[in-house]
Structure 1
Amino acid sequence: MRKVLGMLAALALMGSQAQAAIITGPTSVLAGQSYTYTYDAGPVDLLDGYDFYILNLLVNDGVNGDYFGRFGFPFPANNLFTFDWTFSVTGPAFLSVTSYLESYADATITYSPDGFPRIFKTEGVTRSELIEDAARLGVSVVPIGGTLPLLLTALGVAGLVARRRAAKEAIPA
């Protein structure tokens, strides 16, 4: 009875927690190839009137890091943002994303002469900052360069050994 009550209490506690940010995508990848990952920001409660958003994603695999910026109006209803990632390391790795969300009321976007977006803030523009939780995804990275020749060599040696054994057993004593 005590175990059942403990399990029910744990399930109730897990069900009451808010969904944190998560990353989804392939977890078994080849080094040097690009894969698409989806970052789910989880529930985002923007203040009333704060419609324009900027979401900055800092992505890191333990060796390399990159920055992805997303902005627009309105915030996506599904809270999903995609990005492409290429692993250069091999072995077990973690893909981690830290996001920083800003939302603006009464802001517009302009572009600099070199084409970069900028937020045009007049005197009435206000900003709200929300910092999201970081998310991690465990990934197994296989080296593409050495894996296939090594596998073919091992299969060839196993076939040669099997052929020699079969030939040796076929010779009458």
Structure 2
Amino acid sequence: MASSGVTVAFFNFQYHDCLIETAYSAAQRKFLFAFVDHNIGFTCSLNGENASAFINHRAAVDQLMKCRNHHSYDPKHFYELLNEHLPYAKFSKISLTEYKRTAQKAVSNFEDRIFFNHWRNSNMTDKQRDKTIELMGHEVLRFCRENHLIPDFYPYPTERTLAAFEDFRDDHQQFGLQQ
């Protein structure tokens, strides 16, 4: 990615019986996984050279078990296969259309608005906390708590949506709060 100048990449990953569309932000060191033909997905961050093994979305954990035709979950297994796939992944710079398609799948059905648009200065509800974790990860949740922010989501992506996925802190520094 670095040698190609790509900061947000898009590729597919075959995990047993499931095809998983993946967006990866190099700046955020974060993956957004979406199961093809399912409205389920999850995020994962890299800590050093390792992916975090905690998956925040119970439906995604269940879907991973179904993909393997297995009755128990083994996150190490998923991450080991992903690690083996990465050197051979054919990726491209992600377009707004591809991001929209992936992000629409990578969310549970509790709300329709899934595309980050801007920050708001507000207390976070439990529902907003869960949505922030699912779509943006624990690092962004900590950032929100430290700065008394909540992400505001729209039903459609913008150029800023994709740029913010590259670096949420930078987005907040550039654009600040909008009410």
TM more than 0.5: no
Q: What is the TM-score when the length of structure 1 is the normalising length?
A: 0.21
More strand by share: 1
Higher helix share: 2
Larger Rg computed on CA atoms: 1
State TM-score, norm by structure 2. Answer: 0.20
